[in-house]
Amino acid sequence: MKTHEIRERFTQHFVSRGHEAVPSASLILDDPNLLFVNAGMVPFKPYFLGQQNPPFPNGTATSIQKCVRTLDIEEVGITTRHNTFFQMAGNFSFGQYFKEGAITHAWELLTNSVADGGLGLDPQRLWVTVYLDDDEAADIWHEKIGVPRERIQRLGMEDNYWSMGVPGPCGPCSEIYYDRGPEYGADGGPIADDNRYMEIWNLVFMQNERGEGTGKGNFEILGPLPKKNIDTGMGVERVACLLQGVDNVYETDLLRPVIDTAQELTGARYGEGAPDEDNIRFRVIADHSRTGMMLILDGVTPSNEGRGYILRRLLRRIIRSAKLLGATGATMERFMNTIMDTMTPSYPEIAQNRERILRVALNEEKAFLKTLESGTRLFDEAVEEIKAHSRAKTAKVLSGEKAFELHDTYGFPIDLTLEMASEAGLEVDMEGFDAAMGEQRRRAKADNQAKKHGHADLSLYREWVDEHPTVFTGYEELRSDARVIGLVRDGQKVSEVAEGEEVEVILDQSPLYAESGGQVADRGRLVAGETLLEVNDVQKIGKKLWVHKATVTAGGVDLGHTVSAEVDQQWRHGAVQAHSATHLIHAALRQVLGPTAVQAGSLNRPGYLRFDFNYTEQLTPQQLQEIAAITNQAVDANFAVNTIETSLDEAKAMGAMALFGENYGSQVRVVEMGGPFSIELCGGTHVGSTAQIGPVSVLGESSVGSGARRIEAYSGLEAFRYFSKETALIEGVSRELKVQTEDLPGRIAAMAEKLRAAEKEIETLRKAQLMAKSAEFLGGATQVNGFRVLTVRLPKGTSGGDLRTLATDLRNRAKDEATVIILAAQAGDKLPFIVAATDLAIARGVKSGDIVKRYGEVVDGKGGGKPDMAQGSGSRPEAAEQGFEALKTYLETL
């Protein structure tokens, strides 16, 4: 049975039993505790935590959620069931059915015949586990379902008790296992061998509330929940593995084609008889290709932090594994195309994003292949240094510190380092490497814990979210009479506030826009007689409740009072100009760059906008000019701006663009400008027609990370001011140079060329003067332990290139003696320095790299190089002479 069919059967099974089918949320959600959605229940957390009432009429739902877990990336391919990306099929009950319902639903799907819509698993091969004292679940499994007592096993907190890791709902769980047979391990159920007995479904019975604590079991159970909930998860990949009769989750219909492609590209073979390390690499390629593709699909781009770092790491592990298997060139395009083919039936949106996914992945491959090049050079230098300093009979070892530097600083994978070290006849100090890696992980974990915070206590607002959501009137008017239905001061509900206090005000309706979708919140005021509250921010809670953060500047206000809520009209005018201009720039961008340029974030405040988009190449000046021209042409065309309330499916049929990471309800708002010119899902406020935006001045574009670019622009009056300032500047330069403005580029280019020629001539003369002093410098050399030693501190401003040129010349002039040359020159607050040694000096044991390191210790710097020449830089120029003397003392010991 194909994976796509398993998904369909699961969904249909629960829909036919009254559950509402909920589409998978994006892998990226606005959750402070998660990089990615890592469990099927994550999108439902507000309902389980009691922050919102579930919006499902029957109180039940089902979904097949995209998930990514990356804590154990190194385990991928080693175990038979570990994927970084997986699909969690789940059914959820919010105060409706409980243990018996959940158990019955799961059993029927698993064991009903294929003809009856089930999955057709043999019930005699199913085992279950329950929590230690959960007699209720054990009795249901035995008495209602008919599972023999000997196939029901009990496990403790670590295995069969669930919580979110923070105070909130918790409860025992029951897991369903499939016995794969004696060829996979020992008899005795899941307790005896969890490889033979594969877990395929976990049923969580949320019945208690947990308190503070750490770990899986170190917390207090405070008591029962008011309503009992169900959260279950069936592993789609694991069930596919069983139904397709393959040994592991990497050989199912979704991933096996990638392994086949990898065999073709590398010449290596996968499966029985192949080395274990090769089989693991094939599985890594298959797993990471899918995870990387799905992350890019949901808007992640490679970078050095957060989500982007995880994606970069996954893609680089693919490239590394293919190289270790024997690939000699680029492989990413084939891997990505293969996995997109297998996944598109379940995720049709892949087809529309295929070109963008390829662009991101291929650019990362290109960059990493260059990294491998530079890492290889550093590795070769380290090997040369080790061999030069090691005695013939002594084991040659690459230090753990150097291996970690290659890994951490240069992105050089440790297993590639191990392979290359073996080829070079070296060992790697893995104990030292593991210690350095462990220290880094401890620092990262500590940093993550410092940043991580539990869920904000939104239960304070639940009453209003559920019973009195704010009616937003700001699309139609800028002033509304409203009733004060809530006051919060310092995290506590209050009934009144007085002058001078900071307060959160909740109104039954409001014209003030709450920050969302990149558009900043409205500024405004709440007025009632002599009372005045200045509103400086408006935030949403649960997408339903507007919280006005205000300062009471006059009078006071009580619960139940009626106030006039007024938007600062000038602020709103500037904000809608910028927000509407963002839509036009997005449309212009896609006209110029094509559909692979997709919005990745924005900020709109009065008069200013920035627009981030996924694109891997720097825009040319011509492209930027074209984007600006198309945008302003749309302004000049005075397109009507229409808004349409419709269903999500209808909006997509209209061609409306949706943004990555956004979760839309069943009803959405479509903003259309100029018919097909721009049509997007957007809940923001906008101008009535594009001419109201005024001029748009595109300031430029820049990189904000690998595969991500940013355009910045002014709109309306701010754009006019910018144009005026630029015009005045150009006119001033024209007057100064006494040319017409249209002739400025030519005149400036000619002046710049003259300046470059003059600077080049000065540089040539300066170098000639420096070289002319070579003989004078050599005359100042001293004798130290049979070495001719030349130490020179050169004038300020001497560059590193000058040092190398002079050192080369001096070494050539002194080649007939054992000469050591040490040059230093102050450049700002730094001290660049260089060491050169003649062949005769090297024969006596001098290594320029060693001398550079010793000099660096004195001047607080570091450097490196080869025996004949090495250079570095220090941060204590005042210690230059002290360093010279230290090196002379060192040479006395040779």
Binding residues: 579, 583, 682, 686
Q: Are 163 and 176 in contact (CB under 8 A)?
A: no
Token pair recorded at residue 165: 């890791």
Q: What is the 3-state secondary structure (H, E, C) of 267-324?
A: CCCCCCCCCHHHHHHHHHHHHHHHHHHHHHHCCCCCCCCHHHHHHHHHHHHHHHHHHH
Residue 462, amino acid: R
Q: Are 636 and 691 in contact (CB under 8 A)?
A: yes
CB atoms within 10 A of CB 109: 23
- Please provide the distance, in angstroms rounded to a whole number, between the alpha carbons at the two ends of the chain: 75
Q: Where are the beta strands (DSSP E) in 674-725?
A: 678-681, 696-703, 708-715
Residue 507, amino acid: L
Q: Are 157 and 216 in contact (CB under 8 A)?
A: yes
CA distance 467 to 53: 10
CA distance 822 to 884: 8
Token pair recorded at residue 7: 């998904």
In the annotated binding site for Zn(2+), the residues are 579, 583, 682, 686
Token pair recorded at residue 543: 């997408």
Q: Is the dihedral of CA 522, 528, 533, 538 positive or negative?
A: negative
Phi, psi values for residue 348, rounded to 5°: -60, -25
Token pair recorded at residue 637: 């065309």
Q: Are 687 and 580 in contact (CB under 8 A)?
A: yes
Q: Where are the beta strands (DSSP E) in 508-621?
A: 509-510, 524-528, 531-541, 545-554, 556-558, 562-567, 598-605, 608-614
DSSP string, 394-445: SPPEE-HHHHHHHHHTT---HHHHHHHHHHTT-EE-HHHHHHHHHHHHHHHH
Q: Helix and strand tally (H, E) in the chain?
A: 26, 35
